[in-house]
């Protein structure tokens, strides 16, 4: 069955970076896109961008250009998102999600809580 | 970006009753390919969002037929009949006809 297993919670200092992972299983990793979504109490669900797991091509929401960098490691069927120059506004739960059946997110990871605090 | 307006914010229901959630978009969600990419999700407390309905009215695998989606253009509705305890949580609409995909702010379905 399709599964997306994300890495554990992160506590980071302002100005630093974090890299969170999303390990996929149960399907052909390189045939689909993985998207990343941010959830906060205040802003709700925000779309960050997607990566084509086969080609590595990416497309970012303008609001996250320069903030998020999406990559994949085909050998381990893992997608990564690096968040840079962290501020308290980056504190959120971050989800990876799979575009499997079409132009929507069929399967989601369990989420990673990122807390930015000095 | 397309703004998705969901109403109501909170929806008290009785078990066995019916619920209806509205989602309106700031522009038409009819894609240039003719499809309408409007989807519905349920997020239960402490869990990730789970897909209920895709492309307006198609139930995702395993979703009971108590859930039904309808609508076109800019106006969409999710109806839940015979509400059960496991239906409680936050419901979100999502449009992916235009980039970037955008979500509604959510509707909390709770017991009356």
Residue of chain B with shortest Cα separation from A45: B103
Contact (CB<8Å) A44/B60: no
E strand segments, chain B: 4-7, 10-13, 19-25, 38-43, 50-54, 58-59, 67-72, 75-80, 89-95, 102-103, 107-111
pLDDT of res. B97? 96
Res B51 pLDDT > 90: yes
**pLDDT tens digits, residue range A73-89?**
999 999 999 999 999 99
Residues on A contacting B at a C-beta cutoff of 8 Å:
35, 44-47, 49, 59, 61-63, 95, 101-111
Cα-based torsion angle of the residue sequence A107, B1, B76, A34 in order, rounded to the nearest 10 degrees: -10
Q: How confident is the model at residue A100 (pLDDT cuts 50, 70, 90)?
A: confident
Residue B48 has its nearest CB partner, among A44, A62, A110, at A110
Q: Which of B39, B60, B100 sits opposite A47 (nearest CB)?
A: B100
Q: Find the residue in A nearest to B100 (Cα).
A: A61
Phi, psi dihedrals of residue A44, rounded to the nearest 5°: 75, -140
Helices (H) and strands (E) in chain A, counts: 0, 11
pLDDT at A102: 82
- The residue-averaged pLDDT of B50-78 equals 97
pLDDT at residue number A41:
87
For range A43-57, the mean pLDDT: 96
Q: Do B48 and A95 touch (CB under 8 A)?
A: yes
Nearest CA of chain A to the CA of B92: how many Å? 9
pLDDT the model gives residue A103: 87
B81 Cβ neighbours under 8 A, 6+ residues apart: B18, B66, B68
- State the best of B9, B47, B48 to mutate against chain A, taking most chain A CBs within 10 Å: B48
Report the mean per-residue pLDDT for chain A: 96
**What pLDDT was estimated at residue A55?**
96
Residue contact B103–A44, C-beta within 8 A: yes
Q: A104 and B51 in contact by Cβ < 8 A?
A: yes
Whether A10 and A116 have beta carbons less than 8 Å apart is answered as: no
CA distance B1 to A108: 23
CA distance A99 to A50: 9
CB contact under 8 A, B96 and A110: no
pLDDT of residue A43: 87
């Amino acid at each position: 069955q399709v599964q997306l297993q994300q890495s554990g919670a992160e506590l980071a200092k302002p100005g630093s970076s974090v890299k969170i992972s999303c390990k996929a299983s149960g399907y052909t990793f390189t045939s689909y896109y993985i998207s990343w979504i941010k959830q906060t109490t205040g802003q709700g669900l925000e779309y960050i961008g997607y990566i084509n797991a086969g080609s590595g091509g990416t497309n970012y929401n303008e609001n996250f250009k320069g903030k998020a960098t999406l990559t994949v490691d085909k050998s381990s069927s893992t997608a990564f998102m690096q968040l840079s120059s962290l501020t308290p506004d980056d504190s959120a739960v971050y989800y990876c999600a799979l575009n499997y059946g079409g132009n929507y997110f069929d399967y989601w990871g369990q989420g990673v809580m990122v807390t930015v605090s000095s | 970006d397309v703004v998705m307006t969901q109403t109501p914010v909170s929806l008290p229901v009785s078990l066995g009753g019916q619920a209806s959630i509205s989602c309106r978009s700031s522009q038409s969600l009819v894609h240039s390919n003719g499809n309408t990419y409007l989807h519905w999700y349920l997020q239960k407390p402490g869990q990730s969002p789970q897909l209920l309905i895709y492309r307006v009215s198609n139930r995702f695998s395993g979703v009971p037929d108590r859930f039904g989606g309808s609508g076109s253009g800019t106006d969409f509705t999710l109806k839940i009949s015979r509400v059960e305890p496991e239906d409680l949580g936050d419901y979100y609409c999502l449009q992916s006809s235009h980039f970037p995909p955008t979500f509604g702010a959510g509707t909390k379905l709770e017991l009356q």
